[in-house]
Chain A
Amino acid sequence: MIIPLLKGLATTLKACFSKPITLQYPEVKRPVAPRFRGHPELVINDDGDRRCVACTLCMVVCPSNAIRGIEAAEGENHEKYPVAFTIDLTRCIFCGFCQEACPKAAIKLNNLYELAQYDKSRLILDIDKATQEKSQLRMADWL
């Protein structure tokens, strides 16, 4: 009768002195694997320019119509670049097709995964919000 009780207590005590498994989310974020597929974002080069050439292939391949409104413009040296680009995170299914389709490696899925917002419109990213800040993927530890 007592044995099961002790067994239980032992387990509890073991857990008391070992590293907790529960993460104190949102204070603590769960690290993800490097190849995790999070939010799609537009990649920039070291000089701060977007790599995207507004070819719209990501928009074509996206199965859930999460990418839309890509508008192109012509630069001084006749290069093509986007002036408008919308990524709708409320539609994105994080499949990574866009990343695969992009001929310029200009769109990548980063490690961000949070999608809870009071205001849904914050999840609809315009070209600036969709663009990464540094020429590195945004990692969870930046949060």
Chain B
Amino acid sequence: MVNLTIDGRAIQAKKGCTILDAAREHGIYIPTLCYHQALKPIGACRICVVEVKPGPPRPLPACATYVAEGQEVVTSSPKLDAIRLELMKLVLINHALDCPICDKGGECELQDLTHALGVSVVDLEAVKLPPHKDYVSELIERHPDRCVTCGRCVRICRDRVGALAINFTLRGYFTELASGGLPLDCEFCGSCIDICPVGALINKVFKYRARAWEVTRTEMVCPFCGGGCSYELWTKNDRPLRVVNYDTALLCGRGRFGFPVVESPDRLKTPLIRENGGFREASWDEALDQVAAKFKEITEAAGSAAIYGVGSPRATNEANYLFQKFFRTGLGTHQLDNPGRYTYVQALKGLAAVFGFPQVSGVEKVAKPPLPFHSPLTTTEEAKASGFPLVLGKLKDLPKADVALVVGADVTPELPPLGWALNTALERDTFHLVVANNRKTKFDRRAHLSLRYKPGSERLLIAGIIKSLLTAQPEWAPTVIAGGFDEFKENINKVNLKDVAKKTGVPEALIKETAARLAQAQAPAIIFGSELMGQDKGLENTLALADLFLLVGRPGAPGSALYPVAEKNNTRGVCEVGVMPEFLPGFVPLEGAEPGPTLPEMLDLLEKGDPKAPQALYLLGGDLLRQLPNRSRVEKLLKKVPFMVVQDAFLTDTAKLAQVILPVAVHAEQEGTFISTDGSLGLLPRALPVNGVRPDWQIISQIGSKMGFAMSYASPKQIFAELALGMPRWAGMAPKNGGAAFTAEVTGQFVPFETDISLPGRRPFTLLVGKSLQHSGSFTTHEPCGTLTITNRARLGLNPADAQNLGLAEGDFAKVTSSQGEISVPVTLTPELPEGLVFLPEHFSQPAAQRLTLNSNLVRVTIQKG
């Protein structure tokens, strides 16, 4: 602690904080303009000047001056006031004064400063600058005549987002924000809009729709990926108008501009029942009665195991919990799974095999009834936990790691907050970033080592890294207490580094250097994405990474952890609350009963016409046809199911196969919680009317009640209380928080993994089906989602050299054929892709990328013009 006085008041401040921080903490007002709490101060505007003694004989910027012992700070004096007034006049000299039509009006920092500093006239004159307004760019409008050149937008874009899309040109009075020509070509995250103190950057989705003081603001978690960002949703007259993050200003494009999808005309409004080959609208009572009656009929005829459920990584924890309760308690079966099985669950299973299942002790009930959406459990002093969830990292700790190995993840499209965390980490010189991918991704530019491997060869590459580590340091002992090392070592010894280099395409020297970096690391982090988990051998890939972590990971060091990307808003939650046949809520392995088939096994049963194949499917949303590999097969198999109920907000291709479709509430139309990729709880309060649709939990509870199960609940709060009571690892969990810290006992067991990396087929190209930056599953592909203006359809990414050989130019249609099917899609030239690799986003229904895939996100294809 440092002792100083501000305006004569004795104050204690933390060492290393600025005068501004100290003043704000003690409620002392110092005007600022270029400062923002989410950015490093640059001291550009000098509005925050204060007099500091002892110090230089001139005023210093409070935002960029650190506190020192015995400092005497004066924040207001005639001299300082005169300086500030003069600076304000200079700022206002060429200002547009568009307040009546400026969307920032009412929450504009310049307006507030003008008031606070009492600027009444600007008695300075200067040449008028031409207002180079930008009305042509998508989503973001620029008004340089309102800019105060604070540089906040430039800094957030460069330091946090890492897009480097905007910067200043010219100097002095002529300084202007520029982006290297029009229209703007950037990631369209819109973070610059929220960080701009004035109205120089305008959100086009919101433009002119309301004034800042007219809206109702509700803080909630974003439903567009597993990042768990929280933002304020602005509503007026029950319509969503805008989302804003005042805290860090960071959101991604789909988070910031995706919300209008809630008002999509494609939304289902009433239940639909199949009749004479088509659908007819039905009342809720009729539809629910029919579902309950049909379910009863099927269970009576074929047993309760004849109903199979598929949970949803979009739905809330409460809905998913109730869904598994419907099966496990209501029907008494374990016939359910979630579509994460093809990606994230593979990773969890791999991690569980290496680090064990979670064990928690030392948890007790809280004395007072907990607040809504707070865990009713708390940790005692001897609270302990073990198992794989402990090695799953938290995004806020990631910047504390000293080496990050990113494998099989195009970080920003998969999980933008991971990218922000990496950018923060990269501000430290001691941080090393190793990016391994089959193509050039955004972070290659900033990586200290870039490894370019052949598609699908991740686990062999990891084997190579482990081998070279153990060869360089034969005495190396795993940094995590783990069994089975000797056996594992023997297995690894069989790996030939030359062979690895040849098969993966990564030079031996790079593999060795990566190994050396990891061996030196004091807090290594391993990040991997659905690109790697979504392969048929996703489990083996994860095993390889988990083994590597046993070898070099330091779970005690903050930031040193594994970071698998949970792709959707509740991919992690749907697993945590037990929508998997083999795990009860809290990843408790099912014992004493036979787990039902997994989703792929269930499809196999249907294919075989097995008597155990389900007679009825209950899908909690999610367009399986669009998500699961081998669409034609999935379509054929789903058609075999006699009775299918789909709860969804849209009439998806999967829903079109259903007998009953129940329209559900999405986004802020419902209350509930999500678990983000790093395990923290995101709270979704209700801010919009439901307009005839119902939230998932209500529908499940109503069907359950009609079937005679004790499943009536008054609200998601009640469900959460019940759910959290059974989840000791959630002790201390509260909104925006990941629960109490446990004394961790990370131990593991080396598990050998397969290193065969052959990809079946002989077609010349490898297709990777992956994620686009602007979309989240299929949710964002409906008009009027804002990001559709940036990426409105699927395009096949193709290396320019390949394109030239094929005679294809940008925008030409290509016919892509695999062993499974054929689609036609326009191409886009993508130099980031190596020759031989093509990329197709998975989000769109037309053309359906999954028509080509077999059992993995990689497939061999031929490409022709046409």
Contact = CB atoms under 8 A, between A and B. Distances in A.
Interface of A: 53-57, 60, 72-74, 78-80, 103-104
B213 A78 contact: no
A104 B133 CA distance: 22
Contacts of B209: 72
Contact of B208 (A57, A60, A73, A103): A73
| Dominant SS among interface residues on chain A | loop
Given A56-B214, A60-B213, A78-B135, A72 B208 contact: yes
Interface residues of B, number: 12
Nearest to B214: A56
Given A53-B100, A54-B101, A78-B133, 12 more contacts: A55-B99, A55-B101, A55-B105, A56-B214, A57-B100, A60-B213, A72-B208, A74-B207, A74-B208, A78-B135, A79-B101, A80-B208
B200 to A, nearest CB: 15
Contacts of B214: 56
A31 B99 CA distance: 38
B135 to A, nearest CB: 6
B213 A54 contact: no
Contacts of A73: 208
Interface in B91-110: 99-101, 105
Given A56-B214, A60-B213, A78-B135, A104 B100 contact: yes
20 contacts: A53-B100, A53-B101, A54-B101, A55-B99, A55-B100, A55-B101, A55-B105, A55-B211, A56-B211, A57-B100, A60-B213, A72-B208, A73-B208, A74-B207, A74-B208, A78-B133, A80-B100, A80-B101, A80-B208, A104-B100
Interface in B206-239: 207-209, 211, 213-214
Nearest to B209: A72
Contacts of B213: 60
A56 B101 CA distance: 10
Contacts of A80: 100-101, 208
A104 B100 CA distance: 8
Contacts of A56: 211, 214
Contacts of A74: 207-208
A55 B100 CA distance: 5
Nearest to B105: A55
A74 B209 CA distance: 9
Contacts of A79: 101
A54 B214 CA distance: 13
Question: Which 6 residue pairs of A and B lie closest in terms of their CB atoms, listed nearest first?
Answer: A55-B100, A80-B101, A72-B208, A103-B100, A53-B100, A53-B101
Contacts of A57: 100
A53 B135 CA distance: 19
| Dominant SS among interface residues on chain B | loop
A17 B651 CA distance: 87
A54 B210 CA distance: 10
B466 to A, nearest CB: 59
Contacts of B99: 55, 103
A72 B103 CA distance: 11
A53 B100 CA distance: 7
B105 A54 contact: no
A108 to B, nearest CB: 16
B162 to A, nearest CB: 31
A60 B212 CA distance: 12
Nearest to A80: B101
A56 B133 CA distance: 24
B739 to A, nearest CB: 44
A132 B208 CA distance: 24
B229 to A, nearest CB: 29
Contacts of A72: 208-209
A104 B135 CA distance: 24
Contacts of A60: 213
A104 B207 CA distance: 20
A57 B100 CA distance: 8
B471 to A, nearest CB: 65
Contacts of A55: 99-101, 105, 211
Interface string B730-747: 000000000000000000
Contacts of A103: 99-100
A32 B207 CA distance: 42
A106 to B, nearest CB: 9
A104 B97 CA distance: 12
Nearest to A102: B100
A116 to B, nearest CB: 33
Contacts of B133: 78
Interface in B105-159: 105, 133, 135
A58 B671 CA distance: 36
B222 to A, nearest CB: 27
A128 B207 CA distance: 24
A73 B105 CA distance: 16
Contacts of B135: 78
Nearest to B207: A74
Contacts of B211: 55-56
B102 to A, nearest CB: 9
A74 B103 CA distance: 12
A123 B211 CA distance: 27
Q: Which of B99, B135, B211 has the most CB of A within 10 A?
A: B211
A10 B105 CA distance: 68
A114 to B, nearest CB: 31
A55 B211 CA distance: 8
Nearest to A60: B213
B784 to A, nearest CB: 16
Contacts of B208: 54, 72-74, 80
Nearest to B143: A78
B359 to A, nearest CB: 59
B716 to A, nearest CB: 34
Interface string B402-440: 000000000000000000000000000000000000000
A60 B105 CA distance: 13
Interface in B449-465: none
A48 B532 CA distance: 64
Nearest to B204: A74
A68 to B, nearest CB: 11
Contacts of B105: 55
A78 B208 CA distance: 10
A70 to B, nearest CB: 9
Contacts of A78: 133, 135
A84 to B, nearest CB: 12
A3 to B, nearest CB: 69
B32 to A, nearest CB: 26
Contacts of A104: 100
B182 to A, nearest CB: 15
A33 to B, nearest CB: 30
A103 B102 CA distance: 13
A19 B590 CA distance: 105
A104 B98 CA distance: 11
A111 to B, nearest CB: 26
B774 to A, nearest CB: 24
